[in-house]
Amino acid sequence: MVGSGLARGLDSFEGLLPEPSWAFLELTQKQTSYATHGYHRYPAKFIPQLAARLIREHSSEGNLVIDPFMGSGTTLVEAKLLRRRSIGVDINPVAHLVAQAKTQAIEPTRLTHAMEQLVERLSEHAQPSLFTGVETQSLPGNGTEWHERLRYWFSEATLCQLAQIQQAINRLESEAERTFFNCALSHTLKSVSYWHDRSVKPMRKLDKPIPDARRVFLRHAKRMAHGNREFWNLLCERDALDIPAVAYCADARQLPAEDLSASLVVTSPPYVTSYEYADLHQLSALWFGWMGDLREFREGFIGRSNGVHSLPAELGSHRAARIVAQMEAVNPRKAREVALYFGEMYDSFREMQRVLKRGGYLCIVIGNTHLCGVEVQNAQVFAEQLESLGFSLERVILREIPSKILPRTRDKTTGKFARTLDADYVAYPTEYIVVVRKRA
């Protein structure tokens, strides 16, 4: 049962006005992608200044900060810069790769030497047709037996170029350097594939001009090297080089942290069935061999829209149950998906409750949305679920989203993202920051 304290707190959601200082409207794209934050495109990531403010206001130096849905690792980078230890978890191996690369500062001279090695090795294959003599061991394909989905997305010439890059990376001695350049390669894949440049969702454009993958890769790697140097210098200035920031490829419902060890959790969870990270990251997952079948790859993701066969035992929220019932009357299949989403998020919150110290804070950045014409009040449901787990609602902030990397237009009836001309409302123009505290 929802406590009377939270019932009063939930009233604060009604008529809430955006707080301008949390929109960070004054920031440029360069400022929000400083240091390592520009390493890799990533949908729906929150800006580093938002994570940094939450960390500063709700923790102290030396504390442990955890992000159970770390995505590209924004929270971990900012925690390290603020001299907080951090742990991040994401079930998506692409997110894990990016977060590892972003949190590992490499001594700039070492990185320059590694870059020179790559340039030299790739110059040996100046023409796309020259693939002879390249070792194919440990590559995703051998130029003739590529995965069928790789052939769907890439030309034969591009696959050979990508293999040359991969072989050159594999020959680097340092694991940190290999991670860095594999991140650059992952970022390169969309640009050199048939994936339509103007589409966030997977859509082919077979007449798309395809640049040389090696040039695209080296150009982006050099941009990343500038970011690494900035990150290295900032960490040196703040005496934070040795502050641990550890990224795990794991499930948010099984956090690799001890009971009562964290002072703060900062996270932006996935949305219910509205954003298929598995689909969006399939190029990298295919290339690095993390995915064979897309349906199987989706299975572990919270917010998935396939493989939903049974309802969860507990939702932890009366509001969640009402939303599921509303959805049931419109679309029974979607109702099961929404119920599973809320049930799995409830399990995730149990785990956050386990690792947080008494008096520790949990900050959730989440927006509400519509699905099949039903308003899915994620923020309010999460507040109820957390109350049932022993948290008190401290504050609710409504913030405008000026530049979040999401398709903004949507069909209100189906809940699917749509072209601007076909859409009838704007998705996620605002989002909530829900701040709760574990009761002592």
| Per-residue pLDDT tens digits of the chain, which is 440 residues long | 344 455 555 667 888 999 999 999 999 999 999 999 999 998 878 899 999 999 999 999 999 999 999 999 999 999 999 999 999 999 999 999 999 999 999 999 999 999 999 999 998 765 444 333 333 334 454 445 788 999 999 999 999 999 999 999 999 999 999 999 999 999 999 999 999 988 878 899 999 999 999 999 999 999 999 999 999 999 999 999 999 999 999 999 999 999 999 999 999 999 886 456 778 889 999 999 998 777 777 777 887 666 556 667 689 999 999 999 999 999 998 998 899 999 999 999 999 999 999 999 999 999 998 888 999 999 999 999 999 999 999 999 999 998 544 444 445 554 554 444 444 445 558 999 999 999 98
70: nearest Cα among 331, 269, 218: 269
Same domain, 25 and 132: no
CATH number where 417 lies:
3.40.50.150
Q: What is the dihedral of CA 351, 357, 361, 365, to 10 degrees?
A: -20
CB of 402 within 8 A of CB of 22?
A: no
* 363 within a domain of the structure (yes/no): yes
CB of 391 within 8 A of CB of 434?
A: no
Same domain, 373 and 257: yes
Other C-beta atoms lying within 10 Å of the C-beta of residue 57 = 12
Same domain, 155 and 87: no
* C-alpha span between 433 and 420 (Å, rounded): 27
Bridge partners for 363 per DSSP? 266, 435
Same domain, 48 and 115: no
CB of 185 within 8 A of CB of 163?
A: no
Same domain, 187 and 329: no
Residue 378 contacts by C-beta under 8 Å, 6 or more apart in sequence?
269, 271, 272, 366, 367, 368, 369
Choose one of 209, 232, 255: the last residue of a domain: 232
Residue holding tokens 């048939």?
194
252 DSSP assignment: T
Would you state the pLDDT for residue 297? 76
* 240 within a domain of the structure (yes/no): no
Long-range contacts of 17-20 (CB under 8 A, 24+ apart): 17/398, 18/398, 18/399, 18/400, 18/430, 19/397, 19/398, 19/399, 20/400
* 257 within a domain of the structure (yes/no): yes
CB of 308 within 8 A of CB of 336?
A: yes
Count: domains in the chain: 2
Choose one of 232, 265, 299: the last residue of a domain: 232
Same domain, 182 and 212: yes
90 DSSP assignment: E
Same domain, 135 and 198: yes
* C-alpha span between 154 and 3 (Å, rounded): 55
As given in the structure block, the two tokens for residue 290 are 């993390």
* C-alpha span between 271 and 5 (Å, rounded): 27
Would you state the pLDDT for residue 197? 87
* 202 within a domain of the structure (yes/no): yes
* 205 within a domain of the structure (yes/no): yes
* 239 within a domain of the structure (yes/no): no
User: CA 436: distance to chain centroid?
Assistant: 22
431: nearest Cα among 385, 389, 391, 380: 380
As given in the structure block, the two tokens for residue 366 are 């989440």
Same domain, 286 and 206: no
Other C-beta atoms lying within 10 Å of the C-beta of residue 107 = 13
Same domain, 213 and 186: yes
Choose one of 232, 259, 281: the last residue of a domain: 232
User: CA 239: distance to chain centroid?
Assistant: 28
240: nearest Cα among 105, 99, 47, 38: 105
Same domain, 389 and 268: yes
Would you state the pLDDT for residue 128? 42
* 238 within a domain of the structure (yes/no): no
Same domain, 433 and 378: yes
Same domain, 283 and 411: yes
Q: Annotate 356-381 with DSSP letters as a single string.
A: EEEEEEEEEEE--EEETTEEE-HHHH
Domain span including residue 220: 108-232
* 423 within a domain of the structure (yes/no): yes
